[in-house]
Amino acid sequence: MNNYQVAIFDFDGTICDSELAITNDIKKTFQYYNKEVPSDTHIRTVMENGVGMIDTLKMLNPSLMAIGESEINQWLDTYRKISKKTPRPLYNQAEEVIKELKKEGIKTIIASNNTEANIKRTLQDADIDSSIELILGISDEYPLKPNPDIFNHHILPKYANVPLKEFIMIGDTSTDIQFAQNIGIDSCWVRYGIGHEEDCQALGPNYTVGNITDVLPILIGTKSHISR
């Protein structure tokens, strides 16, 4: 019997090795508007928070805090148009992990602050889209993680017969760990991603792994040898 029935994965920094792509797309967006381009270090520091792109852009340039909603949405649209042209590779062995979970009967969900279009395109390119039960990206229908609404209204009703103890959230930022804690489910922090280690460890995730393949024994094998 599997240790968990439903695995909820973050996308960027967890399944997808997208840090470089996001960094370059942000720079191109600032260049498009003839604004000072933030440094790689500044971008990474902001990305460590796991917030959505609108908040990311505002944090990188505080002057954007004062502009209207329609203007910041134009920035977001520009970023998205740029990002559509940028390949986003999966981490090594991510495909094998997702396929193995499907083989073992574990329901795999992606809950991300990225767009569903970007996620689907990457998964289709890797030919693992059919192994994912549900993709939940940024939407006007629900607030971003760590707000639990996306779980309560879009995941839990689909798996109403699954006890909370058999759900697990796997992600790389403090946002993902907080999301799990707000729901009341276990969390697994992947230290190879974008998140800030001290912030993530301070939240006390149930598990910490250094490679995506390390999630397999947590989900389908013994949990005893995985660091907590």
Inter-axis angle of helices 19-32 and 53-60, nearest 10 = 60
If pLDDT is split at 50, 70 and 90, which confidence band does 228 have? very low
Looking at mean pLDDT, say which of 141-155, 166-180, 210-224 comes out highest.
Answer: 166-180
pLDDT of residue 224: 44
* Shared-domain flag, residues 97 and 36: no
Q: Which residue has better confidence, 226 or 117? A: 117
Same-domain pairing of 73 and 168: no
- Per-residue pLDDT for 29 more than 50? yes
The number of distinct structural domains making up the chain is 2
Of 83, 105, 138, the residue at which a domain comes to its end is 83
90 vs 142, higher pLDDT: 90
Q: Is the pLDDT of residue 140 over 90?
A: no
Residue 1 domain-assigned (yes or no): no
133 phi/psi in degrees, rounded to 5: -75, -40
Range of the domain at 134: 6-17+89-220
Together in a domain, 208 and 115: yes
Residue 220: left (phi > 0), alpha (psi -120 to 50), or beta? Answer: alpha
- In this prediction the pTM is 0.90
Among the listed residues 8, 10, 4, the one whose alpha carbon sits nearest the alpha carbon of residue 219: 4
Q: Is residue 35 part of a domain?
A: yes
On whether both 100 and 33 belong to a single domain, the answer is: no
Question: Are 61 and 94 part of one and the same domain?
Answer: no
Residue 228 included in any domain: no
pLDDT value at 130 more than 80:
yes
Residues 152 and 168 in one domain: yes
61 and 106, same domain (yes or no): no
